[in-house]
Structure 1
Amino acid sequence: MSEDQLRTNIDWEKKWQQGRSRWDYGQPSPALVTLLQTEEARVLIPASGLGLVPGCGHGYDVEFFASEKRHMRGLEISQTCVDLLNQKYPNAKEENFDFICADFFDFEVPEQKYNLVYDYTFLCAMEPYLRPQWAKRMNEIIAKDGVLITLMYPVNGQEEEGGPPPFPLSEEIYHDLLADNFELMYINDAIGHAERFGMEKIAIWKKK
């Protein structure tokens, strides 16, 4: 696959300029909040280190994960989005998180890599032909024994009204993409935003 083919055909910068980001619920997904309250899952998630939320949107998950011991970074391909985030979170640095404008497929990765990456409405937002490259990149940027949290959506095989994105996914697709380099440690039905009931699963994968 050529370098040009690794780039999405969706103009996210234009969408942000036009205010068409669509998936803004004003808070982290209740499914993620519940996950971090679940002892079985919480012990699998590193409490310190470096974390990344690719396709972070309005930044709720970046702020939610950030702590004194865990620095979180939100990544977006739209400069308009990142400018809005920096205005929205003027105290981000003091709260141990930040935002960068970069391409997920070739942004500069810290030497120690990330020990936590959270993917929600990111894989489902890219065209299906990019999925193997998504998996390859996750393997590259996550440190050994680090974790990838995937809030899988939509897994009911249906598209949202108005068509993709999001592109429909399934638990099997995630297994096919990640099994070579990640071990599935936890998976459960997700109870997130009300309109998505029955359309989500949440999982934790550990880098081999």
Structure 2
Amino acid sequence: MKQDFNADYWQQRYTQHNTGWDTGSITTPLKDYFDQLENKALRILIPGCGNAYEAEYLYQNGFKNVFLVDFAPGPLQNFAQRVPDFPVEQLLHQDFFELEGEYDLIVEQTFFCALNPALRPEYARKAASLLKPGGKLAGLLFNTTFQKPGPPFGGNREEYRLYFEPYFNFLHFELAYNSIPPRQGNELFILLEVK
């Protein structure tokens, strides 16, 4: 039977605390990347945001144009309780693939690996369509295969390159040197600029 990874599926995962991807805080590669961003006015999108520790970190460090999207309501509600002064209109309860708008930066953290792999080419196309000229897609992709059926779904840099090459120039696409210990050696840090 084919699993439908719809909003109900993800909401159930959050309700049952079946969230093994959730590290409880921002991970080092993203923190280090955010720390070198100087333009606090960037319009930033975090798709499939989950509990959005990345957004919390950005917001607390002066980035006020951060938008979170998830089609499960639970993580958005969790975030709103944790960061009560975050603008509610920037919490988008919808499907990433139906999203409209223009952003300077899209942050990838465990959303790509949660999607059915058949959607990966569409993810690359959609991300590119949401970015302003010169906009960037930055974050982490698993560079490994998993023993258990997904999600998460793994893969490798050669596969990923095929999805992103039609839409992006590759500024950085290497093994992350500063992954958290459980993910050490299994993550690519990507920084792609829309063509």
Give the structure-1-normalised TM-score: 0.81
Output the CA distance in 1 between the equivalents of 2:63 and 2:54.
Answer: 16
Q: CA deviation at 1:88?
A: 1.6
Are the equivalent residues in 2 in contact too, given 1:62–1:97 (CA < 8 A)? no
Q: CA deviation at 1:65?
A: 2.5
Q: Does 1:87 align with 2:81?
A: yes
Q: Which residue of 2 aligns with 1:102?
A: 94
Identical aligned pairs, as a percentage? 23
Output the CA distance in 1 between the equivalents of 2:98 and 2:39.
Answer: 25
3-state DSSP class of the match of 1:33?
A: helix
Q: Which amino acid aligns with 2:165?
A: A
Pairs aligned (count): 189
Output the CA distance in 1 between the equivalents of 2:154 and 2:166.
Answer: 22
Map residues 13-28 of structure 1 onto 2, 5 A cutoff: 13-28=11-26
3-state DSSP class of the match of 1:150?
A: strand
Q: Does 1:151 align with 2:144?
A: no
Output the CA distance in 2 between the equivalents of 1:16 and 1:124.
Answer: 17
Q: CA deviation at 1:46?
A: 5.4
> What is the CA deviation profile of residues 49-73 of structure 1, one whole-angstrom value per residue up to 9, with x for unaligned ones?
2101111111111122335455111
CA separation of 1:15/1:148 partners in 2, compared to 1, >3 Å: closer, same or farther? same
Output the CA distance in 1 between the equivalents of 2:89 and 2:155.
Answer: 30
User: Runs of 5+ in structure 1 lacking a partner?
Assistant: 1-6
> What is the CA deviation profile of residues 103-161 of structure 1, one whole-angstrom value per residue up to 9, with x for unaligned ones?
01102x23xx00100111111111111111111111211111000003111x12x206x
CA separation of 1:69/1:15 partners in 2, compared to 1, >3 Å: closer, same or farther? closer
Output the CA distance in 1 between the equivalents of 2:136 and 2:94.
Answer: 22
Q: Which residue of 1 aligns with 2:123?
A: 134
Q: Which residue of 2 aligns with 1:184?
A: 170
Q: CA deviation at 1:85?
A: 1.6
3-state DSSP class of the match of 1:145?
A: strand
Q: Which residue of 1 aligns with 2:44?
A: 51
Out of 176, 180, 191, the position equivalent to 1:193 is 180
CA RMSD, Structure 1 to Structure 2 (Å)? 2.3
Q: Which residue of 1 aligns with 2:111?
A: 122
Are the equivalent residues in 1 in contact too, given 2:34–2:58 (CA < 8 A)? no
3-state DSSP class of the match of 2:137?
A: strand
Q: CA deviation at 1:187?
A: 3.0
Q: Which amino acid aligns with 2:123?
A: W
